[in-house]
């Protein structure tokens, strides 16, 4: 079987799995809950980037941006932790890993296919959040040209383009976590353990990022550049932090995929 066919088959399994579909439905419903809360609220928005939340009332398209920002710290990483943590450990627990590796498919190829499926799933999740937010925002609030944080105005096409860029950036941020989840998944035959451990990684990273005394460590943390979405809403876009975020996630992906490959290729698969 070719790599593309193997990837398509794996991605189909990931996207059709009931647990993963439920996670996507929850992500799609979250903007609706946020939108209704803003619609019914009479107070000033609070939390991360309250300015963007305040803009939702005057332009519903901002709900897509705001939903992505609000879901990035916990819910989207939790989704990726479930998918990536189950990638290898789930096969092992189900007794299918040994059969998968007995066919003429290199273990490194299996790892690449599994990781690619996780990354695509992360992109699908991010696009769903943004699209759901914009649709719900358009139904609950007025819509029109979007005024960027730098003062310029862009039309619907420009707004959708920036939304897709933000969703792609979110997918790359999740790709770094997916690599960690893949590595952890090779260490255990219990999927729940791999999922829980992977989900704890961004939580710990964000706690460390909130401690001023560890400021020297902050640029190296997985989550340090996870929520710089405001940089996409300027003209021109502020690329310095965005580029640093992309490089950071690439470094995490290289390191932990290498560790996952080393573990999987030397592992004695018994189940």
pLDDT digits (tens, 9 = 90+) for 214-225: 999 999 999 999
* CB neighbour list of residue 165: distance below 8 Å, 6 or more residues apart: 232
271 occurs within a structural domain: no
Q: Is 149 inside a domain boundary?
A: yes
What number of CA atoms fall less than 13 Å from residue 190's CA on the CB side? 4
Q: State the total domains in the chain.
A: 1
State the residue range of the domain holding 42: 3-266
Q: What is the SS3 assignment for 102?
A: helix
Residue 7 is assigned to a structural domain of this protein: yes
Residue 131: predicted pLDDT = 97
- Can you give the pLDDT at residue 163? 95
On whether the CB atoms of residues 129 and 27 are closer than 8 A, the answer is yes
Q: How far apart (Å, rounded) are the C-alpha atoms in residues 182 and 10? A: 15
DSSP bridge partners of 23: none
Whole-model pTM? 0.90
Name the token pair of 199.
Answer: 């989900």
- Positive or negative torsion for Cα 224, 225, 230, 236: positive
Q: Give the three-class secondary structure for 201.
A: helix
Confidence at residue 90, expressed as pLDDT on a 0 to 100 scale: 81
Quote the CA–CA distance of 33 and 136 in Å, as a whole number.
9
Cis peptide before 236 (omega within 30 of 0): yes
Which residues in the chain land under pLDDT 50?
A: 104, 270-271
Question: Of 238, 230, 232, which is closest to residue 51 (Cα–Cα)?
Answer: 230
Longest pairwise C-alpha distance within the chain: 62
């Amino acid at each position: 079987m070719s790599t593309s066919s193997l990837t398509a088959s794996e991605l189909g399994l990931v996207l059709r799995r009931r647990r993963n579909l439920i996670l996507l439905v929850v992500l799609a419903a979250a903007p609706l809950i946020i939108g209704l809360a803003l619609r019914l609220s009479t107070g000033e928005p609070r939390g991360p980037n309250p300015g963007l939340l305040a803009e939702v009332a005057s332009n519903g398209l901002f709900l897509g941006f705001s939903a992505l920002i609000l879901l990035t710290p916990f819910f989207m990483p939790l989704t990726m932790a479930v998918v990536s943590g189950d990638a290898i450990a789930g096969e092992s627990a189900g007794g299918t890993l040994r059969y998968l590796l007995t066919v003429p498919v290199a273990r490194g190829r299996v790892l690449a296919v599994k990781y690619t499926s996780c990354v695509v799933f992360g992109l699908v999740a991010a696009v769903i959040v943004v699209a759901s937010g914009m649709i719900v925002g358009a139904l609950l609030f007025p819509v029109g040209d979007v005024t960027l944080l730098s003062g310029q105005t862009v039309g619907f096409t420009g707004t959708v383009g920036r939304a897709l860029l933000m969703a792609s950036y979110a997918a790359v941020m999740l790709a770094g976590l997916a690599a960690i989840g893949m590595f952890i998944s090779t260490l255990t035959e219990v999927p729940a353990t791999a999922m829980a451990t992977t989900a704890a990684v961004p939580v710990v990273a964000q706690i460390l990022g909130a401690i001023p005394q560890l400021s020297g460590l902050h640029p190296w943390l997985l989550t340090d550049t996870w929520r710089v979405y405001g940089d996409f809403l300027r003209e021109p876009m502020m690329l310095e932090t965005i580029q640093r975020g992309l490089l950071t996630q690439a470094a995490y992906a290289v390191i932990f995929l290498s560790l996952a490959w080393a573990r999987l290729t030397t592992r004695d698969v018994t189940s």
